[in-house]
Amino acid sequence: MSSVAAFQDLTDNLPDWVEAYRAYAAEGRVATYIPELAHAPQQALGITLHHKSGAVISAGDAGMPFTLQSISKVFTLLLALMDRGEKAVFEKVGMEPTGDVFNSMLKLELVQPGKPFNPLINAGAIVISSLIRGDSPEHKAERIVRFIRELAGDEGPSINEHVYRSEAETANRNRSLAYFLKDNKVLDEEVEPTLDVYFRQCAIEVTCAQVARMGLVLANDGADPFTGRELIPKRYVRIAKSFMVTCGMYNASGEFAIQVGIPAKSGVAGGILALVPGELGIGIIGPALNDKGNSTAGVHLLRLLSERYDWSMF
């Protein structure tokens, strides 16, 4: 199906699909570990697709703001690569997927010398946050926000202060991971300032349209899709896309590769960033999560779209 026909088909059908797929939310549960997430509407489902031609299609609750949470890990990885280079980054984190749950310490303890498996698990992302350049946590977080805004082509993304403060108050597991990394000398920076950056990046609030536009930049190998200007070196985008395929959807990444087959990254607020290389970026919000921590309706919707438009890379 050509892109034009596909976009017409999408225009005709997406609203109905979104309404129908809200039903999947009943299978999942909204994250409750911080109050701000617990208040998200269980039934919400929204999506924006941003094609390289400039065409944008949204449906459902696409306008509902949500926080990036783990989706931010893709962008701090990119920024750390741009700040420090590939060698410095991969001295601190590995490149391998792991079947463990996202916040497990098991692998950290078993695999010497405590180097996180990859930058998309919490331990790896915390190390990555420590590599972002800046004079203070505020400065580092500001640089991350600016980078997100640049990719989103929108000044909208900002830190949700309520969410940030809630994250900081309830993050004992992440503190435990960070002190473990510190003890293993994988984390060079101080724990609390590093976590402060991490909590802020997780609390950046976006909409589906902004996430879709960020995905489009990745689909376009790091170049601004309209000006052609390089926003991210292509090599780093390749690295990010590889990780999104092998580890982007927690310990359901392998199944997602088979069933959907495109680079994607989910967050615990119910957001998903996805992209069809060379074609389009996708932003999804659906707060009800399945047992692997991914938006249940969002994953079902992506599978439908991937099958209908033959998006799989495999």
Query: Nearest-CA neighbor of 102 among 129, 69, 65, 132?
Result: 69
Q: Out of 30, 56, 58, 73, which one is annotated catalytic?
A: 73
Least gap, CB of 174 to its own copies (angstroms): 8
Q: Is 174 annotated as a binding residue?
A: yes
Could you tell me the CA-to-CA distances from 272 to 79, 281, 295 in Å, in that order? Answer: 19, 11, 7
Active-site pick, 21, 24, 164, 198: 198
53 in catalytic set:
no
Residue 294 assigned to a binding site = no
Q: Residue 250 catalytic?
A: yes
| Alpha-carbon distance values, 246 to 254, 262, 305 (Å) | 7, 10, 20
When the beta carbons of 218 and 288 are compared against its own copies, the nearer one is 218
Find out whether 122 is annotated in a ligand binding site. Answer: yes
Among residues 21, 56, 58, 70, the one annotated as catalytic is 70
Task: Out of 21, 24, 164, 250, pick the active-site residue.
Answer: 250
Beta-ladder partners of 50: 56, 281
Name residue 13's amino acid. N
For residue 299, give the nearest of 309, 285, 312 by alpha carbon: 285
Residue number, 20 or 111, with CB nearest to its own copies: 111
* 158 vs 184 by CB, closer to its own copies: 184
User: In the annotation, is 70 catalytic?
Assistant: yes
- 287, 24 Cβ separation under 8 angstroms: no
Q: What is the DSSP string of 161-229?
A: HHHHHHHHHH-HHHHHHHHHHHHTT---S-HHHHHHHHHHHHTEEE-HHHHHHHHHHHHTTTB-TTT--
- Specify whether 182 is catalytic: no
- Residues 265 and 74 sit within 8 Å (Cβ to Cβ): yes
DSSP code for 295: B
* Residues contributing to the site for its own copies (CB under 8 A): 94-100, 104-107, 109-111, 117-118, 172-173, 175-180, 182-183, 191, 238-239, 241-243, 245-247, 251-255, 257-258, 261, 263, 277, 312-314
Nearest CB to its own copies, comparing residues 107 and 200:
107
Question: Least distance from C-beta 222 to its own copies, angstroms?
Answer: 12
Task: Report whether 275 contacts 213 (CB < 8 A).
Answer: no
- The token duo for 56 is 């944008």
**Strand order, beta sheet including 204-206:** 66-67, 204-206, 158-159
Nearest approach in angstroms of CB 263 to its own copies is 8
The answer to whether the annotation marks 268 as part of a ligand binding site is: yes
- 2 vs 314, beta carbon nearer its own copies: 314
- In the bound state with its own copies, the residue whose beta carbon lies nearer, of 55 and 95, is 95
**Is 115 noted as a catalytic residue in this protein?**
no
Was 167 annotated as part of a binding site?
yes
- Measured between alpha carbons, how far is 139 from 34 in angstroms, rounded to an integer? 25
Cis before 113? omega within 30: yes
Check whether 70 is labelled as a binding-site residue: yes
Binding-site positions for substrate read 70, 122, 167, 174, 198, 250, 268
Binding-site positions read 70, 122, 167, 174, 198, 250, 268
- Which residues are part of the catalytic machinery? 70, 73, 198, 250, 268
